[in-house]
Structure 1
């Protein structure tokens, strides 16, 4: 049985904390409202800040199935919503012809029945689910084109899918919808109007330290402080792609695998490929630049005592 929805902002914050998701009250508030109002939650922010994780947290804490639609350029209805099993339909036609006495009207009706319908994530999300209304994650919507975005308007307005040969499938209990975007392009206002919006920013140093403590608890305390300080300083640099929380956690794990207890320039330079994903950024930070940031972080730590 799915768990009841949180009854307050504080319960929503506790729900996130239960799954070790560190969030500010602003996120807990908009999430609470989205759940209570039955509105999709539209999350924008840089890659790696934890947008997708929110849908996973909801699935785990509310006990509901997670249905994920990973968006990409060229995504179409056949991949996202439904398609017909044409091979099985062809076999059915051949078998009917071989048996003779084909009733064309009956055969046509049967060919476009549910047993030949292949449900993709969106259709699956509006169908009845054994575990209750699911969490529908539409991930990285900005990677699709505007035509697919326009198609989503019906889904998000009425929580239904219209299939010309079959009819309209409407959700008995609307799914909890989470949409994410890395803002590589602007999403149309018509879709945003159907959602509650929240910008997911990089966490503060305090919150990022708490995330690190929860997710990678075996990192030494001194290394944790220096590591978070370094990443926070790195995000203020002119980089092609600043490291997200996911990269920070990977880097922390890598450093503990190397038995590091504190940052030093050689160690940072050797492991920048875990934290940064573009060669120009790695080249910019290697050597003296890494030492400058480390010295700055350590000086700041000493000043705050």
Structure 2
């Protein structure tokens, strides 16, 4: 998939994802070792985007399982097309139940969901299990079979084993502690907020028309906001949105008036906006 750590960095950059050395190294090792990659970090730091960028860089198909409270086996693995099965039973009433039963539990009536789709794929595939921590603990049991042996058992059809292992990325905001059994099967990567230099590079890449001084000011102020005790600190995506907003407004400098008028782009709670308005120091550093 990737020839070296430098190859990872270069190819991800071509997709618009600027990877730190730690990110590029871990992606390279996950690909080489055939290990799933568990990516944790606060919301908005690019965890999901990393999986998308890897798929694009590797020219692989992206298969996504979006986790949420209540997601179950049928949504993650597979389910049967019950309406079609019922029609088949009705149409074959004269053939007897045994024949109908054989027919309805066949490939024709199977509806693969993300995990089975990724396991059965014959082309390069990136499997994204997004926001794993939002799923119930029972879902982790499903993932263990997939991540241990890259196989899924369909009782009516047998065990399906991957002929080409997908590159697996699990993301988590750490809202719930994942099991040690799941962690043990993965390489771990924590993505935090980037340092100022990397964030400036990201903003320049995503908002090419923004002036360098404006980009630096935006990144500096966002850094100050993240240091505050806010309900929701700004993500990298919101830094980019703010720079794009200021560019659209024709703002050449980030003065107090502009900040107060546009804080809603980066802060999403009124109490955060009030706190930032009261405490934010807009003076240029000495």
Q: TM-score, normalised by structure 2?
A: 0.97
Q: Residue 155 of structure 1 corresponds to which residue in structure 2? A: 146
Q: Residue 275 of structure 1 corresponds to which residue in structure 2? A: 266
2:55 pairs with 1:62: no
- Cα distance in 2 for partners of 1:163, 1:251 equals 48
Q: What is the SS of the residue equivalent to 1:240? A: coil
- Cα contact 1:89–1:116 (8 A) shared by 2: yes
| TM-superposed deviation, 1:55 | 0.8
- Cα distance in 2 for partners of 1:91, 1:247 equals 50
| TM-superposed deviation, 1:221 | 1.4
| TM-superposed deviation, 1:15 | 1.8
- Cα distance in 2 for partners of 1:44, 1:156 equals 17
Q: Residue 261 of structure 1 corresponds to which residue in structure 2? A: 252
Question: Which one of the candidate residues 77, 85, 89 is aligned to 2:81?
Answer: 85
User: Aligned pair count?
Assistant: 286
Q: What is the SS of the residue equivalent to 2:128? A: strand
RMSD value, Cα? 1.1
| TM-superposed deviation, 1:289 | 2.4
2:134 pairs with 1:143: yes
- Cα contact 1:43–1:198 (8 A) shared by 2: yes
- Cα distance in 2 for partners of 1:173, 1:162 equals 17
| TM-superposed deviation, 1:17 | 1.9
Q: Residue 213 of structure 1 corresponds to which residue in structure 2? A: 204
Unaligned runs of 5+ in 1: none
Q: Deviations over 1:52-99 (max 9, x none)?
A: 1111111111111111111111111111111100000001111111xx
Q: Residue 42 of structure 1 corresponds to which residue in structure 2? A: 38
- Cα distance in 2 for partners of 1:68, 1:279 equals 34
- Cα distance in 2 for partners of 1:161, 1:283 equals 52
Q: What is the SS of the residue equivalent to 1:83? A: strand
2:119 pairs with 1:126: yes
| TM-superposed deviation, 1:134 | 0.7
- Cα contact 1:59–1:65 (8 A) shared by 2: yes
Q: Residue 197 of structure 1 corresponds to which residue in structure 2? A: 188
- Cα contact 2:59–2:124 (8 A) shared by 1: no
- Cα contact 1:269–1:285 (8 A) shared by 2: no
Question: Which one of the candidate residues 19, 25, 39 is aligned to 1:29?
Answer: 25
Q: Residue 108 of structure 1 corresponds to which residue in structure 2? A: 101
Q: TM-score, normalised by structure 1?
A: 0.91
Q: What is the SS of the residue equivalent to 1:211? A: helix
Q: Deviations over 1:184-223 (max 9, x none)?
A: 1111110010000010010000000000011111111111
- Cα contact 1:69–1:122 (8 A) shared by 2: yes
Q: Residue 229 of structure 1 corresponds to which residue in structure 2? A: 220
- Cα distance in 2 for partners of 1:278, 1:170 equals 47
Unaligned runs of 5+ in 2: none
- Cα distance in 1 for partners of 2:100, 2:158 equals 17
Runs (4+) of structure 1 moved beyond 3 Å?
A: none
Q: What is the SS of the residue equivalent to 1:47? A: coil
- Cα distance in 2 for partners of 1:186, 1:280 equals 29
| TM-superposed deviation, 1:105 | 2.1
